[in-house]
Amino acid sequence: MAAGILGDTDTVYPLSLRLAGRLAVVVGGGPVAVRRVAGLRTADADVLVVAPELSPSLADLAARGLISARQRSYQITDLEGAWLVLACTSRAEVNEAVAADADMMRLWCVRADDGGASAAWVPAVGRAGGATVAVNADRNPRRAAALRDACMAAVEAMPRDESAQDGAAGRPQAGGPGWVSIVGGGPGDPGLITVAGLERLRSADVVVTDRLAPLGLLAGLPPDVEVIDAAKVPAGPGMRQENINRLLVEHARAGRSVVRLKGGDPFVFGRGREEADACQAAGVPCDVVPGVTSAVSVPAAAGIPVTHRGLSQGFTVVTGHAGSDDARSTVDWAALAASRTTLVLLMAVEHAAGIAEALIAAGMPAETPAACVADGWSGQQRVVTAALADLAPAMKEADISNPAVLIIGETARYAERSNR
């Protein structure tokens, strides 16, 4: 879907361009050029940037071979073979020359500095649910952006059976065979799901949800969407993994759009790969949408960076669902104690005392800073801080339970005591 909203005095022909594999030339190397290059790369264009100086971002893209660059002044020969030209310099005379050369060569040229003298405009663009909204508003960029956002809201509110699904990553179109998307919902705050994850959720007929998924997202689903609670409660009831796999396959084979909604990232202790394998073995189309992992985001909710210059040059994420003396544990606690990096422990509340003992026995100082963040990114978030040797007792006194993330290392000093 494309929409053009035009001023009364303008006569233009709205058009969407397929630029994949076609040359687009950007003249200029500053901030405007960065924005234009970003859009062209999204369209898979072959991008050539011409400028005496390149911004750091453009220089990096060129160094990695993701765009081509000619670091010199513009020449008319730079337009040879181009399908589209964008004049983005800060010098009006250069932009005017580029536009004149493009016009002579019958190339469409966008002038960033003078919309009235430009043969083409770049609209305000938004994408959602398989639709592209492009808005021009009489060369008023703020009004165009506001109108685009209003159009996007209308697209997102459109009933699912009236809107084609996102065709990215080979996903089927509406009305076709079923599919499964394994979606990471982030650490719990509904606002932290990715745009791609939210689009999948809005296209779903069936949502199979986890206990740690952002359940607030379910409230906005249409009433005809089937929600299946597949929560696994530690040491409590829960749906077996093989039954979850079977549900995903059965609903997809019945022609339904299925979202497996998980907390955090589905590939970080989330069994996402197991579910993707089950779909693949059954011949069911399946994709994976990454999520914001709690291993990094929950410490951040309490002000704790997992790395920090001068304090920690790395971090290790490990599961603590099995104690340090449990035969099921394959974690080398002695190696972690000697690593001098931040340790992030998930599902470790029950075994926090034993893990601390193992680390201290392996040489980690008992006074190492440590923190526990429970129910991160929620209104119930709580933060407990203590030296490593005292963390488990402090957690017990505070009656901490899962979900919680433990952080051990110098960066834990940054923990903010106040609750959210």
- 10-residue mean pLDDT series, the chain (420 residues): 44 88 96 89 94 92 93 98 97 97 97 90 77 79 82 73 45 65 94 92 92 84 87 66 95 96 94 96 97 97 96 94 76 94 95 96 97 92 97 96 94 77
Residue 161: active-site member: no
- What is the distance between the alpha carbons of residues 367 and 369, in angstroms, rounded to a whole number? 6
Which overall architecture, per CATH, does domain 295-414 show?
2-Layer Sandwich (3.30)
Question: Of 149, 229, 232, 390, which is the active-site residue?
Answer: 232
Amino acid 148: pLDDT: 82
Sole residue written with tokens 């994976």: 288
DSSP letters spanning 101-168: HHHHTT-EEEESS-GGG-SB-PPEEEEETTEEEEE--TT-HHHHHHHHHHHHHHHHHS-GGGSPPP-G
Contact 349, 368 (CB under 8 A): no
Indicate the SS3 state at residue 4.
Answer: coil
**Cα 351 versus chain centre, distance:** 32
Distances (CA, A) of 263 to 5, 159, 214, 227, 310: 40, 26, 7, 16, 32
Question: Of 78, 101, 113, 210, which is the active-site residue?
Answer: 210
Sign of CA dihedral 369, 372, 377, 379: negative
Written out in words, the top-level CATH class of the domain with range 171-289 is alpha beta
- What is the distance between the alpha carbons of residues 207 and 256, in angstroms, rounded to a whole number? 10
Residue 396: active-site member: no
Amino acid 129: pLDDT: 64
- What is the distance between the alpha carbons of residues 8 and 340, in angstroms, rounded to a whole number? 66
| Cα–Cα–Cα angle for 199, 205, 207, rounded to 5 degrees | 75
Same fold, 23-135 and 171-289: no
Q: Where are the domains of the chain?
A: 23-135, 171-289, 295-414
Give CATH superfamily name and number for 23-135: NAD(P)-binding Rossmann-like Domain (3.40.50.720)
Instruction: Output the pTM of the full model.
Output: 0.73
